[in-house]
Structure 1
């Protein structure tokens, strides 16, 4: 359903409607008066009627519009599917309800920065496999803000968004998706650089006192950055010695965990338990377990730049991301002989497959324990 409105900066009446899956906004030369509004509203009614009947001529109605050329091919009967830009935007709006805000932002950025500039003015039904492969090849030449090429993982994310759009268009307009048979790029094995136990001890002995509890919990629970930064006291159960991972801090906002497996219960070992008990005396009156002095969530970029990296430099340790604390927890559990299925649950993995693929060289033996072997390892060293 279209609408008529006026902009304050121009004082002119605008007409807003949808045509062939694309939102169209056209400025009239009429000033905003009641008679003129009625006139434009009648025009809108005629446009929508013509669109319904399939006889609308965009160039005839708006001869000076830059959109007229874009729709020319479709209006001449050369195509029967919408332009990619319009369909992609429609698809995006329809999918919003399924996505977290962070994922919405990522998909929107993918559309605006990559897909619409490349395919926006093409009919979705006329995009070819060759043009898709050519586009993927061009992504290899794109560099990020740090002047590094796009990773294979990021290229796959961009291409997967394109695949979903084309598959949906093919289903709606009854044509074969040109994406069939195109495989994802191989992603290099995850870089795992865990800390040895003596390095963990060194870090915890030298880190700023106000962050000792924070890094202790990171090292001995395997929580992701967003999970620990979004951890709230209502998720900590001291009686059961458990942490319920049900939220994450993403782009400064609290969101539910990204998938079903990410929602999990972590069993606290003694180190994590004592660290959280100590932290309770500091931030127990706040919502967040680890927070700023005014109770707001930590900024992981600030913490990494001001606390983590300076500490590693001071200790003479190789520069590693804070995410390696998660890998450290996994490798220490494996080294102590814990049950891989228990470890997978602690990490939020649905199966042990990823565990063995990523950490296989850190598995000296397999026993069937439930956390006690790791407790003995810690008791011997702390």
Structure 2
């Protein structure tokens, strides 16, 4: 046997009946007295919960809206024991709570959700550098445009207009638009954040999964700034007297990232086996140093060295012994490319020094990261298998390496055509 017992669940009424009897005024037909408004609130909450009985037990039944797919009403039954009064109190409490939650969801904006709910919840799971990147993109590029939009009213066209605006004039310094890679990163932030919102019932569906975002372009292009082997050799020869010479040499000869070079410890270096083990990265977040485990699983890798690079590292270790009385060459935890006092080198210091050295050399200007692109480009042009280059760079797959350096492939294909023609000619 089942019986439903509707009850009036109080929400916002005045139990003492002290509200003034305000009459409706003819000049203001939209003004109703407060007792009617309170009654509407009670009626709304009453529709959200009631008490039902099955056998000798009572249940608080809470209305949870309609299913967006089937259109059927959804209700959740909460066991409330054998006492009707307890069931009524539970139903009133749950209905009021759902009513308050519904009001909060309806007034929740995109900015409040991203900055006060979603991003703080990710602080423990994201790397410090990733968290800071999310925070800057949200503050600089997302909230100024769509931050005031109620989260439940956010639509794909809101996001598409945001992406178009960022592409046209999205730079914070007002000098133009953001590059497609940055806009794609912003799109991915929104997609992940709105996926979480959908899972929590704050929105019905994720508009970022429908909105069109710019396609990610290869990280390098035919106009990427890389040096030839002769230019790289000229630069390295010209910096032989600089304290960062060994760090620059190792970077150019391994393709390691800036953070990986500065995160390298002596325990990661096996000079006898001519091998480096890349296991961590030193990054700057708000100019503070943080050590991470690298960008991905494949970023943690072993890199073979040539005899010249090994000899330079041996000489660098001897120099560290001379310049720092407290340096212990047998301490595996010491940073390889540290400051004279043994403290880690800030990444910005290395980049600034590199920029000055490039300007002094008279060579075409490139960024520090372009040493990595130069390493990969020279190896690919020399016919090194893509898989080997991918492993040295720590890319996720050889396919990513091919997509990133596809501008190098046409020249290699031409050489392959000539090689095949020569094979046929020799066989004739």
Q: TM-score, normalised by structure 1?
A: 0.70
> Is the CA contact (8 Å cut-off) linking 1:308 and 1:322 kept in structure 2?
yes
Which residue of structure 2 aligns with residue 100 of structure 1?
A: 127
> Is the CA contact (8 Å cut-off) linking 2:300 and 2:394 kept in structure 1?
yes
2:316 to 248, 269, 279: 279
Is 2:165 aligned against 1:165? no
DSSP-derived class of the 2:170 partner: coil
Shift in Å, 1:314: 2.9
Which residue of structure 2 aligns with residue 54 of structure 1?
A: 96
Is 2:298 aligned against 1:261? yes
| Alignment RMSD | 3.0
Within-5 A mapping of 1:347-366: 347-362=393-408
- Matched residues, number: 301
Is 2:233 aligned against 1:204? no
Which structure would you say has the larger Rg? 2
Shift in Å, 1:228: 0.6
> Is the CA contact (8 Å cut-off) linking 2:275 and 2:304 kept in structure 1?
yes
Which residue of structure 2 aligns with residue 234 of structure 1?
A: 267
Which residue of structure 2 aligns with residue 296 of structure 1?
A: 343
Within-5 A mapping of 1:1-382: 53-54=95-96, 74=103, 82-88=108-114, 89-139=116-166, 140-145=168-173, 147-173=175-201, 175-189=204-218, 190-191=220-221, 192-207=224-239, 208-251=241-284, 252-283=289-320, 285=327, 287-305=334-352, 307-362=353-408
DSSP-derived class of the 2:208 partner: coil
Residues 51, 128 of structure 1: CA spacing in aligned structure 2 closer, same or farther, 3 A cutoff? farther
DSSP-derived class of the 2:195 partner: helix
Of 189-198 and 235-244, more deviation after overlay is shown by 189-198
Unaligned runs of 5+ in 2: 1-91, 322-326, 329-333, 414-428
Shift in Å, 1:95: 2.2
Q: TM-score, normalised by structure 2?
A: 0.63
Unaligned runs of 5+ in 1: 1-49, 59-70, 367-382
Residues 52, 239 of structure 1: CA spacing in aligned structure 2 closer, same or farther, 3 A cutoff? farther
Give me the whole-angstrom Cα distance separating, in 2, the residues matched to 1:166 and 1:145: 28
> Is the CA contact (8 Å cut-off) linking 1:230 and 1:249 kept in structure 2?
yes
Residues 118, 290 of structure 1: CA spacing in aligned structure 2 closer, same or farther, 3 A cutoff? same
Give me the whole-angstrom Cα distance separating, in 1, the residues matched to 2:204 and 2:127: 30
Residues 281, 148 of structure 1: CA spacing in aligned structure 2 closer, same or farther, 3 A cutoff? farther
Residues 146, 204 of structure 1: CA spacing in aligned structure 2 closer, same or farther, 3 A cutoff? farther
Give me the whole-angstrom Cα distance separating, in 2, the residues matched to 1:57 and 1:356: 55
Shift in Å, 1:53: 4.9
> Is the CA contact (8 Å cut-off) linking 1:228 and 1:248 kept in structure 2?
yes
> Is the CA contact (8 Å cut-off) linking 2:281 and 2:292 kept in structure 1?
yes
